[in-house]
Chain A
């Protein structure tokens, strides 16, 4: 048995070794770097099932006060690893586009880091999953964000990639500013940076409700940017459309998972303040409602598939926020919300990565990312069309898919919490979702292709697509394994409070 931190150290070491190997090798093809990374991350993923768990009562001042390895963190670590592996597979498919858009003396030069930087993002995501202290959470979040700045702007020859990079840079740094200022006020009020200790101090604090709300609102603004909640979503469509497709996929899954996990961890101490919890829940309800409406309605007129998926990502943030807004006032209720959010994110990972992987492969042959370019895809490649059909159905929430069960859990939560307004909004927006997701399916199956040459798919991608499709069905019919992994968490915060 090894300490859980070994996983992060392994991924980080792999990143450094590959960076060194890249700079000393003369080979023009960088594909082997990605293959080595995929292979090693696969091993780290397997390894993650064999690490020891955190002690229930860590000594004061020890490392375990900053870092937890409860079951929820382990599930999020595996989500991060899985996402990174699939993003690297996507990056391999994307290499031709990448090489074309990077000005260099030799074609293919300068693409190496594109395969290595996701490893550092992955390290950040994994550390964030375990962070029990605001300092650690901040450092991990910034490791994720800064490596994303580079990845989004990676195609130096493409105006859209650079433009997306600058937009992401400015708004990402702005959200960091708000988040840090919020942390400052939380520290000022409590004198602590550890989540559990903050909870104790906040519960004992009397008569400074305004200051507590001010701190929380600043943090919520910062995290609202990360999870793409309305009204902080304005960067999402532009950045998603302009960034290289594998990075868009990584952003929409990794960055969102990180943001929601941090949101849950930060909210927990604040919901313990009895006088404030109703106000906080009202703010969350308004955010969730606005995000649901905007994300799903703005997606209706979109013709660009990448942009459509961006709005869809905003819409799904709405469902996740809806689950969080339905948390009861009792402190133990956050446990069940945690598992709902965890399952929804897992389902979201499967279907979003599947759509982006197929988008990456197909758009190179169709020479475009508009929906009309996908006309008649079923005749050019039945396999890809079926994969996209499954992904779109799951995103829309067709029964027997993982996406449906995720939405079912969220709606059940809303019924339990008597959140009827959100429930009504959720139902209407699911209806809107059916329209714009199935429009893509209609184009693939019922429209005539302009060019009917078959599309070749590499073996590795075929394997990953098959795996994701199977995952969507298996976890849609039998979601128990994931839920069980999320629920057996023995209340980590209560245990480390003293």
Chain B
């Protein structure tokens, strides 16, 4: 059996990213759209960790800069979810809906 290479990880992360993007474009429920957005961020995390693991430096250790960035992305995503869900809850209280079709009072 072949060992896993960088390409396998990148393929998986590319798939996650595309799935997330497709979800944002196609789904109509704001909560689902929001989950798809998180999927896109996690795709970036996956490929960052993979890049870090395969960028071995002179001393034989992985390049940890990318893994630090992953922690930043996780933190930012958490903050974004906290604020985002609060806004969606406020919207639901005011309009009793979380569907994209129902929030088009501002003209395009």
Contact = CB atoms under 8 A, between A and B. Distances in A.
Interface of A: 134-135, 138-139, 142, 146, 149-150, 153, 156-157, 159-160, 162-167, 169-170, 173-174, 176-178, 180-181, 183-185, 187-188, 191-193, 234, 237-238, 241-242
Given A146-B79, A149-B87, A163-B103, A156 B68 contact: no
B72 A166 contact: no
A135 B48 contact: no
Given A146-B79, A163-B105, A188-B51, 11 more contacts: A138-B72, A146-B80, A159-B94, A162-B95, A169-B34, A177-B17, A177-B44, A180-B40, A180-B44, A187-B66, A188-B10
A192 B44 contact: no
Chain A binding surface, main DSSP class? helix
Contacts of A162: 87, 90-91, 94-95
The size bracket of the interface on B is 35 or more
Contacts of B33: 170
Chain B binding surface, main DSSP class? helix
A130 B13 CA distance: 31
Contact of A187 (B17, B40, B65): B65
Contacts of A150: 83, 87
B75 to A, nearest CB: 8
B34 A183 contact: no
A187 B24 contact: no
A159 B21 CA distance: 27
Contacts of B10: 188
Nearest to B93: A156
A162 B94 CA distance: 9
A193 B94 contact: no
A177 B106 contact: no
Contacts of B87: 149-150, 153, 162, 165-166, 169
A123 to B, nearest CB: 14
Given A142-B80, A166-B103, A135 B90 contact: no
B21 to A, nearest CB: 8
Contacts of B30: 166, 170
A156 B21 CA distance: 29
A184 B37 contact: no
26 contacts: A135-B69, A138-B76, A142-B80, A149-B84, A149-B87, A156-B90, A156-B93, A156-B94, A157-B94, A160-B106, A163-B91, A166-B87, A166-B91, A169-B84, A170-B24, A170-B37, A173-B80, A174-B40, A177-B17, A180-B73, A183-B44, A187-B48, A187-B51, A191-B55, A192-B65, A238-B108
Nearest to A166: B91
A221 B95 CA distance: 32
A134 B69 CA distance: 9
Contacts of B43: 181
A176 B76 CA distance: 10
